[in-house]
Amino acid sequence: MIHLFLNDLYKKKFVFLWMILSFKAGYLNAAGFLATGKFVSHVTGFGTQMGVSMAHEDYYFGAELLIIPLAFIFGSMIPALILDRNYDDRKIPPYPAVQFLITMLLGVIFFLGTSGWFGDFSTPTDDLHDIILIGLLCLVCGMKNGLTTWATYGKIRTTHLTGLATDIGLHLPKIFRGGIRSRFPEQRRVNTVRIATFVSFTVGSLVAAFIFPKYDFYGFIFPFILSVGLLAVSFVNYNEAKREHTVGDEKTKVA
């Protein structure tokens, strides 16, 4: 993730970044579903499924489902613990630290999967290894979404489509009707960015659907490489932002 200001979120040079993050989320979500039969990039519906499982006295399956929201929530907590600690507008948040953890976890998933620790890529019944895989993927997705949300002032989310689709629908009429006063005024390009991230999530899922049935756990090398690239970008941006910030402080002192 990179350090930027609220007014810069929807500039063209950053739209590609949001698309990459959304693509990766869709890819991981499809990977989780293909491997375990469960989605990992969002928690919608799992409360209902847990309730139904408990009602049918399927307590083991209900406990498995509980791992998904808990791991996602814990993953979302990590960026806040790292970035929101003694937050000061005059300091550059250590985004690379969170991106490093995401990259490391993806590397662990890739290593354990390709070494056979998780067993077969897709199995008809869940076991402890599947539960751990689900938990790790949900942890990664929670961290990804938490990092993006925190860095973009809550404006960009890349791991699920429910709220995004609602926002697209609410603002879509503005594209076709000009000159009317809206309760939710915003520039048209904002909705264009939403549509781009929506499409990227879908494309990521589509690509994963082709890759994982053929390559199994080796398919995780793709999001790992993307994550390494994002980590490098994050470090470069962090150092540049710190350097610019330092120069700005020195100019202020001189003045």
| Residues 128-141 pLDDT 10s | 888 888 889 989 98
**What is the mean predicted confidence (pLDDT) over 163-173?**
74
Please tell me the total number of residues recorded for the chain in this structure.
255
207: its two tokens: 């690509």
Fill in the DSSP letter of residue 202.
H
Copy the structure tokens of residue 140: 């990664």
- Show the CA angle centred on residue 98, arms to residues 97 and 104, nearest 5°: 90
What are the residue ranges spanned by the domains of the chain?
6-176+187-254
User: Percentage of residues in the chain with pLDDT exceeding 70?
Assistant: 77
How far is residue 100's CA from residue 72's CA, in Å, rounded to a whole number? 18
Q: Looking at residues 186-203, what average pLDDT do you find? A: 83
pTM of the model: 0.81
For the chain, the average pLDDT equals 80
> Does 197 have pLDDT greater than 60?
yes
Q: Give the distance, in angstroms, between the CA of residue 198 and the centroid of all CA atoms in the same chain.
A: 13
> Is pLDDT at 187 greater than 60 in this prediction?
yes
The residue assigned the tokens 């808990």 is 70
Nearest to 223 by CA among 141, 152, 156: 141
What pLDDT is stored for residue 179 in this prediction? 62
Residue 115 has pLDDT above 50, yes or no: yes
User: What's the CA gap between 206 and 223, in Å, rounded?
Assistant: 14
pLDDT range class, residue 255, cuts 50, 70, 90: very low
Q: Identify the pLDDT of residue 253.
A: 45
Using only C-alpha atoms, the chain has a radius of gyration, in whole angstroms, of: 20
The residue that leads in pLDDT, 43 or 67, is: 67
